Structure formats: C-alpha cells, structure tokens
Copies of this chain bind each other. A is one copy, B any other.
C-alpha cells in the first residue's frame, strides 16, 4: 500500500507546518483530496503564490506587510513618539487586536539567544538603534516575553538605545512568566501596558 506517491508528497509538504506530525499531515491530505472542491484548491494555490509574492517586511518596522512601508508606520493618527519592540508580527496582531496601543512598532524577528546561536546581529537591532536616534521618539516600550531570551534582549536594547530625552520602558504587570505575548488576552495586555516601568 505504498502506491500513493502523490499523496505522500503532499503529506511531506504538510509535515513542514509547525506542530504537524505525520498523522495530522495525513489527515489534512485526505481532507484535501476528499473535501476540497476544485475551487478550494485553486483558491488555496492562488493564496499561496500571491502571499509568497506580495507579503514582505516593512522597510521601517519589519512587520509583515503587502506594501513597502506598513499602514501603521505611514499612519498620521498613530503616536510616532512611541515605539513598541516585539519579537514578531504575530505579537503586533495580538496587540492591535487589544486596541490598547496607538504608537508604532519595531519587529525584531527573533530574540537574542546564545543557546540557539542567535546573537544581536541576527535580529533587527541596528535599525532599532537608528530609529531611536530620531528626536521625535520619546519612548521605547520593550514588549518581549518573560523568558531568558526575552529578558536578555530587553537588557541589550536598553544599552543600545539610551540617549537624553528617551525613556526605555518594559511592559510588566500581567504577563505571566514564560508566557508568549501571542497568547495573552486583552485584559492581560492592558494591565501589562498600564504597568510598564523604566528598566
């Protein structure tokens, strides 16, 4: 019964999804074969191609966007004196959903983690240091997770962005230890924002 070579190739691709093993990938593949209409498959492929083609990182804050510079960075109604530093785009989406923040963002695309071989040069820190030099910016809010990597990154950022008139704060109260921003509910995020303090 090793005859399903096309299906097995589909399973192999689906196994590359995060947290998906052979069993789940097989379930997905069967679902695609038996339940997806021709139009479903066509829409899926179109979305894959155009997403890979159009989605890129904002040239300013590195969030995923379909323009050269994202809507948030371009927005005149956002508070350009605040920059919140987060690990990735998912964190931006979570914070935007909570509607508790009206400043700008800076997406690191990772956290400093010597154990995983990720150093300061591997994440978007240079561009953050440059943005922090702009006198318009009054506050850098560090919203990395309460993990060793998140704490290390926060301390590093505090070192590289300090200048007269710029306060560096860190969201604090509310975010559970070891917790990822992505999974925090709105109330937790509001508390964490309200209770931010100087590093």
Binding site for B on A (CB under 8 A): 1, 3-7, 9-10, 12-13, 16-19, 26-36, 38, 40-41, 43-55, 64-67, 70-72, 88-90, 92-93, 96, 109
Contact = CB atoms under 8 A, between A and B. Distances in A.
Contacts of A36: 16, 52
B3 A43 contact: no
Given A4-B64, A9-B46, A13-B43, 17 more contacts: A1-B71, A1-B72, A4-B55, A6-B50, A6-B53, A6-B55, A9-B50, A10-B51, A13-B40, A13-B44, A16-B44, A30-B90, A32-B52, A33-B64, A34-B109, A38-B52, A45-B49
Q: Give how many copies assemble into the complex.
A: 2
B32 A51 contact: yes
Contacts of A3: 65-67, 70-71
A90 B51 contact: no
Contacts of A92: 1
Contacts of A67: 3
B9 A18 contact: no
Nearest to A12: B47
Contacts of A7: 51, 55, 64, 66
B90 A26 contact: yes
A86 B41 CA distance: 27
Given A16-B36, A89-B30, A90-B30, A4 B65 contact: yes
A66 B33 CA distance: 12
21 contacts: A1-B71, A1-B72, A1-B96, A3-B70, A3-B71, A6-B50, A6-B66, A9-B50, A10-B44, A10-B47, A12-B47, A13-B48, A17-B28, A18-B27, A18-B28, A19-B27, A30-B64, A32-B52, A34-B64, A41-B52, A45-B45
